[in-house]
Chain A
Amino acid sequence: MKDRYLPLSVKANLVLLVILTLGLGIVTFLYYREVNDTITSSIENSLKNQSQILYSAIQNFMLPGEAPLAVQFFRDIQDLNPLYQVRLFRTNGVPAFSDNDTIQEVNRRINRNRFLPRETQLIQPTPAAPPKALDAAKNRPARDLFLRTESEGRVKVLIYKPLINLPKCTGCHGPDHTIRGIAEISTDITQSIQAQGETIVKAALLFGGALVALSLSLGRFLHRQIIRPVREIGEVCASVTAGNFQVRTSIEQKDEIGDLAFTVNTMVKGLHERFELSKYVSSATLQSLQDDSTAKKISATVFFSDIRGFTAFSEHIPPETVVELLNRVLSLQTDIIHSYGGDVDKYVGDEVVAVFIGETAPVQASKAALEIHRVLKEKADEINALGVGIGITTGELILGRIGSEKRADFTVIGDTVNTASRFCSAAQKGQTIISESVFRFLPPSLRTEGPYLLKVKGKTEKQRVYILKEV
Chain B
Amino acid sequence: MRNACSTAILRILVGITCILIGVSACSKKETLLLRTAEYRTWEKTTPDILDYPIPGHEDKYRRIFISPEGYTPGITAKGGRTYYSFPAGTQIIKEILDPSWNGTDPPLMLTGMVKKPEDPRARGGWLWIVYVPKTGKEMVITEEFCITCHANANEPHPYGDKNRKNEFRDYVFFPPSVDSGPVKQDSSY
Contacts and interface: CB of A to CB of B under 8 A. Distances in A.
B155 interface: yes
Contacts of B54: 167, 170, 175
Nearest to A178: B55
A168 B158 contact: yes
B58 A177 contact: yes
Contact of B53 (A109, A144, A176): A176
A140 B60 CA distance: 14
B152 interface: yes
B146 A141 contact: yes
Contacts of B58: 175-178
A168 B154 CA distance: 11
Given A109-B189, A142-B145, A174-B189, A168 B55 contact: no
A175 B53 contact: yes
Contact of B55 (A110, A141, A144, A166): A166
B158 A167 contact: yes
Interface in B30-57: 52-56
Q: Which of A140, A141, A174 gathers most chain B CB within 10 Å?
A: A141
Interface string A135-174: 0000011111000000000000000000011111111001
Given A164-B148, A178-B55, A170 B143 contact: no
Contact of A168 (B56, B143, B145, B155): B155
A143 B189 contact: no
Contacts of A174: 189
A174 B152 CA distance: 16
A168 B157 contact: yes
Interface in B46-105: 52-56, 58-59
Interface in A41-100: none
Contact of B143 (A110, A141, A169, A176): A141
B19 interface: no
B149 A167 contact: yes
Interface in B119-174: 141, 143, 145-146, 148-149, 152, 155-159
B117 to A, nearest CB: 21
Nearest to B159: A167
A27 to B, nearest CB: 34
A49 to B, nearest CB: 12
A175 B159 CA distance: 11
B169 to A, nearest CB: 12
A166 B159 CA distance: 12
A375 to B, nearest CB: 77
B189 A170 contact: yes
Nearest to B153: A167
A60 to B, nearest CB: 13
Contacts of A109: 189
B188 interface: yes
- The listed residue with most B CB atoms (<10 A of its CB), out of A110, A144, A177, A178, is A178
B145 A170 contact: no
A167 B152 contact: yes
A447 B162 CA distance: 141
Nearest to A176: B53
Contacts of A140: 145
B124 to A, nearest CB: 15
Contacts of A177: 55, 58
Contacts of A175: 52-55, 58, 158, 189
B162 to A, nearest CB: 10
A166 B145 contact: no
A140 B55 CA distance: 12
Contacts of B146: 141
Contacts of A178: 55-56, 58
Interface centre among A144, A169, A174, A175 (most CB of B within 10 A): A175
B181 to A, nearest CB: 18
Contact of A166 (B53, B143, B152, B189): B152
A143 B143 contact: yes
Nearest to B142: A141
Given A171-B189, A175-B53, A176-B53, A141 B145 contact: yes
A142 B149 CA distance: 12
Given A175-B52, A178-B58, A166 B149 contact: yes
A170 B54 CA distance: 8
Given A164-B148, A175-B189, A170 B158 contact: yes
Nearest to A163: B148
A141 B141 contact: yes
A166 B158 contact: no
Contacts of B143: 141-144
Nearest to A162: B145
Contacts of A166: 55, 148-149, 152
A176 B149 contact: no
A141 B56 CA distance: 9
Nearest to B52: A175
A143 B182 CA distance: 34
A375 B108 CA distance: 125
25 contacts: A110-B188, A141-B145, A141-B146, A142-B145, A164-B55, A164-B145, A164-B148, A164-B149, A166-B55, A166-B148, A166-B149, A166-B152, A167-B158, A167-B159, A168-B155, A168-B158, A170-B54, A170-B55, A171-B158, A175-B53, A175-B54, A175-B55, A175-B189, A176-B53, A177-B58
Given A166-B55, A174-B189, A177-B58, 7 more contacts: A140-B145, A164-B55, A165-B55, A171-B188, A175-B53, A175-B189, A176-B53
Interface of A: 109-110, 140-144, 164-171, 174-178
